[in-house]
Amino acid sequence: MDQKQIGSFLKELRKEKSITQEQLAEHLNVSGRTVSRWETGSNMPDISLLVELSEFYDVSIPEIINGERKSENMNEEVKEVAKSMSEYALAEKESMLKEIRVLSLLGLAALIIYYGIDLSGMGEGNDFFANVAMYSQTLVYVVILLIPFQATGLLNKIRRNDKNTGIPKTFLCIASIVVAFVVAVLIKLILK
């Protein structure tokens, strides 16, 4: 797959339609800079946009990926497979973003609790509030550690591996949280 060739082909297709990069970007709900990067070959269109690009330019997805026209039209089966792939990729991204949002909200809540107790002085002389503040602060560290693992897909790999190892999914999730908690406590101790 030659990105430069694909970029040149996309530029050629756009010029055949007599539209600007900005007009195409507006049609696809992306930035003009994104279209420019596609056409220079420095980036590739997201898989979820390939079906839309192929329909807009009236070319097949293999033609886009190969960076040249073929004589035959894309059959409906190939188009449906590509559309299903793009929907799957989009659903996977949305799922990951949802999990990151949940982690972020959990971390934010812990941070608010920690600072609320710390700034109000409720933790001084009251063991319960002091412990809540300490656990909230540690939870912030845990969330900070878990978000990169979620964003890079490592947590999903751990979850998928439970089928291969025979270890229950719940145990793996709890183990990853415990490990993150221990690492966060160690970081907290080192920073003191």
Reported as a pLDDT band with limits 50, 70 and 90, residue 20 is very high
pLDDT in tens, 126-149: 888 888 888 888 888 888 878 887
The single-letter DSSP state of residue 172 is H
**Of 137, 20, 28, nearest to 86 (Cα)?**
28
Q: Which long-range contacts (CB under 8 A, 24 or more apart) does 161-170 make?
A: none
Q: What CA–CA distance (Å, rounded) separates 67 from 61? A: 10
Torsion of CA 166, 171, 175, 176, to 10 degrees: 80
Between the CA of residue 79 and those of 10, 95, 166, what are the distances in Å? 18, 24, 38
Reported as a pLDDT band with limits 50, 70 and 90, residue 112 is very high
How many Cβ atoms are within 10 Å of 182's Cβ, its own excluded?
12
pLDDT in tens, 67-79: 887 755 556 666 7
The single-letter DSSP state of residue 192 is -
pLDDT in tens, 31-90: 888 889 888 988 888 887 888 888 888 888 888 888 887 755 556 666 777 777 888 888
Taking the CA atoms of 174, 175, 176 and 181 in sequence, report the sign of the dihedral they define. Answer: positive
Q: What CA–CA distance (Å, rounded) separates 181 from 103? A: 14
Residue 116 has pLDDT above 90, yes or no: yes
Looking at per-residue confidence, does 109 or 46 come out higher?
A: 109
Percentage helix, strand, coil for the chain under 3-state DSSP, each rounded to 5: 80, 0, 20
Residue 168 has pLDDT above 70, yes or no: no
For the chain, what percent of residues have pLDDT higher than 90? 12
HSE-CB at 45 with a 13 A cutoff on CA atoms is 26
Q: Compute the C-alpha angle 145/148/149, nearest 5°.
A: 85
pLDDT in tens, 22-33: 998 888 888 888
Residue 166 has pLDDT above 70, yes or no: no
Q: What is the pTM of this model?
A: 0.49
Question: Which pLDDT score is estimated for 19?
Answer: 92
Looking at per-residue confidence, does 82 or 11 come out higher?
A: 11
